Chains A and B, each alone.
Chain A
Amino acid sequence: MRQRESELESLDVRVAVVTFELGPLAAAYVRETNLRWPLLVDESRRLYAAYDMHQGRVWDVWGPATWWAYVKLMVKGRLPRRPHSDVNQLGGDVLVDPAGVVRLHHVGNGPADRPSVQSLLDVVSSSVKRKPNARS
């Protein structure tokens, strides 16, 4: 995701990352990863729930796809961080258009289940192409 940051910016897509973990953990994460996007703290998980991101099943969270995702991280030299909190919380992606309408809503079954950045860019690009001409 962060590798495509410039592409998202060229399409005028703003990104906000959401976590349920408390302020000190969140602040440490921003410092350690040099995160350029805001990290919003949804401690009550109200926004998570509103987008149907609840607790995952054990098989989804710790199944083969998860282990494969971690192997790929380790091959790249990035060791997975030891989680200190609820590892069963599901994540996902929500893409909102300029009028405030959800154009993509994806709830991941596990850490490896995320829409590709290309699919996100395709949604934005197809919407821009469909934009009606401005009236004079």
Chain B
Amino acid sequence: MSGKTGSPAVDFELQDADGRVHRLADYAGDWLLLVFHRHLG
């Protein structure tokens, strides 16, 4: 595990590939797995 374990998640507001906005708050109450790609492909 790395240094952010135990810390509050970083807030974000990002668009998805269809242009819909996603915020961290949208996932409140659920487990959320963020999978960061190195690059597509």
Contacts and interface: CB of A to CB of B under 8 A. Distances in A.
Interface of A: 1, 8, 11-21, 23, 25-27, 29-30, 37-42, 46-48, 50-53, 56, 61, 80-87, 89-98, 100-108, 111, 120, 124
**Would you call the interface of chain A mostly helix, strand, loop, or mixed?**
mixed
Nearest to A39: B17
Interface of B: 1-10, 12, 14-20, 22, 24, 27-41
Contacts of A30: 17-18
6 contacts: A14-B31, A19-B39, A82-B41, A84-B41, A86-B39, A91-B36
Contacts, number: 168
A94 B34 contact: yes
A43 to B, nearest CB: 9
